Structure 1
Amino acid sequence: MLPWKRVVSPLAALLLAAAALAVPTATGAHAAGAPSSGWNDYSCKPSAAHPRPVVLVHGTFGNSVDNWLGLAPYLTHRDYCVFSLDYGRLEGVPFFHGLGPIEKSAQQLDVFVDRVLAATGATKADIVGHSQGGMMPRYYLKFLGGADEVNALVGIAPSNHGTTLAGLTNLLPYFPGVGDLLTEATPALAQQVAGSDFLTRLNAGGDTVSGVRYTVIATRYDEVVTPYRSQYLSGPNVRNVLLQDLCPVDLSEHVAIGLIDRIAFHEVANALDPARARPTTCASVFT
């Protein structure tokens, strides 16, 4: 066996394991096919206070329930109509989604938003996504006409400019075949490596499109989308937020910021309703 082949499998496994940190393990409720509680209610009609439905977009290895066990109830309790989808499923891989080609995932998001708008009667939706789910909608906005259907995109630890996984992907050129393995087995992982053809196309000509408000919520302790500043967007109607600027003692990393961090949730609510925004501080964990 050639020497490099002895390290291909361990390195690929390490890359996959690092990416898997993006979401928690699937719960028994989701594995059993149980519906989400309090959201994905297609009879929900947006209120005058919150006239747009909120579409939640999970991250790599995520799903429509587990990724949102914290944020979805937080928003429904505040009288938002909340919906979430599964996307990017690979054949033979249950429970874990967001692995297929990102272009096709964006098409699935397009169809889902159309369904939500038709059910709620709203003319536009707001999108909140975690990790890949904060970046992938930008393809929908830029190339699939989503800017006509979306008012705001809120990215929680989004992979907007890819990731080096703390520099690990810089080693790929030294291990021939690993990049091809990632592309063939899990296309979305390869597409999220900094400098990929997909990200080059996505970010060419500017990070944003007109008519959409963008918010990025990041943590300096992110160990998956690295460096964390690569998550930020440039352009008009953009607000980049670092959790530790709001609460210096917030230690959330990539998983916690999307799953349980109520300071991040408070900022999501501010981004969805800027006219009623309230200052976010460490005390926001109690609101």
Structure 2
Amino acid sequence: MEEICARTGQREVDIVGHSLGGLIARYYVQRLGGDRRVRTLVTLGTPHGGTAVAPGAGIHPIVRQMRGGSALIEELRLPAPGCRTRFVSFWSELDQVMVPVGTACVDHPDLDAVNVRVTGIGHLALPVHPAVAAAVREALETQETREGTVPSTGTTSVA
């Protein structure tokens, strides 16, 4: 992040992460001091609360960290007072990787988090669907958010 900020001349950056990528970005922000440089973290289908379904969990240890009760998930539940990053988490009721689907929501008392429900698409479509991309862009352009909505968008509904 330091290099990106130096190259761009920006003090802060925004990050968009899908699935495990969102979990890694959240760990950086919440546990490694990344909140000094990350203004907004947008996650798409990220198992913030862990998931009972972790595709390829036997392949690599990092994928096992996506499971509920893993050391990573438990560490993200620890207090995070003063975390400056704004979190916007997009989740879908059709996401078959997030079991249960509510695990894709950020639920932490110390974090400035908004959870946005997306309808009609599954896990792999979240980062590529035009309506979701538009809502992500709006979330990044918006400074203030309310629980459950991206301002002027409300619940993102995708047919």
TM interval, short-chain normalised: 0.7 to 0.9
Equivalent residue in structure 2 for 1:266, among 115, 129, 134:
134
2:98 alignment partner, SS class: coil
Give the aligned partner of residue 230 of structure 1.
Answer: 103
Q: Hey, what does 1:161 align to over in structure 2?
A: 49
Aligned amino acid, residue 39 of structure 2: N
1:253 to 107, 122, 126: 122
Q: 1:227-260 CA distances to partner (integer Å, 9 max, x unpaired)?
A: 111111123421101013xxxxxx210001112x
> Could you tell me how far 1:202 is from its partner in structure 2?
2.1
Q: Give the whole-Å Cα distance in 2 for the aligned partners of 1:243 and 1:127.
A: 19
Higher helix fraction: Structure 1 or Structure 2? Answer: 1
Alpha-carbon separation, structure 2, partners of 1:139 and 1:279:
28
Structure 1 residue 144 corresponds to structure 2 residue 18: no
Structure 2 unaligned segments of length 5 or more: list them: 145-150
> Is the aligned partner of 1:239 residue 2:114?
yes
Tell me the distance in 1 between the aligned counterparts of 2:82 and 2:133.
Answer: 25
TM-score by length of 1: 0.47
8 Å CA contact retained: 1:243, 1:263: no
Partner of 1:27: none
Length, aligned pairs only: 149
Once the two structures are TM-superposed, the CA of residue 201 in structure 1 deviates from its matched residue by 1.4
Larger Rg: 1
In structure 1, C-alpha distance between the alignment counterparts of 2:135 and 2:16, rounded to whole Å? 11
The 5-angstrom pairing of residues 51-62 of structure 1 reads none
Which one of the candidate residues 216, 238, 260 is aligned to 2:89?
216
| Structure 1 residues 192 and 258: alpha-carbon distance in aligned structure 2, compared to 1, 3 A threshold | same
What is the one-letter code of the residue matched to 1:197? Answer: A
Over 3 Å counting, the alpha-carbon distance change for 1:221 and 1:209 in structure 2 is farther
Matched, 1:124 2:12: yes
Q: 1:157: how far off? A: 0.7
Name which structure has the greater RCO, CA cutoff 8 Å, separation 6+. Answer: 2
| AA in 2 matched with 1:253 | G
1:195 partner amino acid: G
Structure 1 segments (4+ residues) deviating >3 Å: 275-278
Q: By how many angstroms is 1:279 displaced?
A: 2.4
RMSD: 2.6
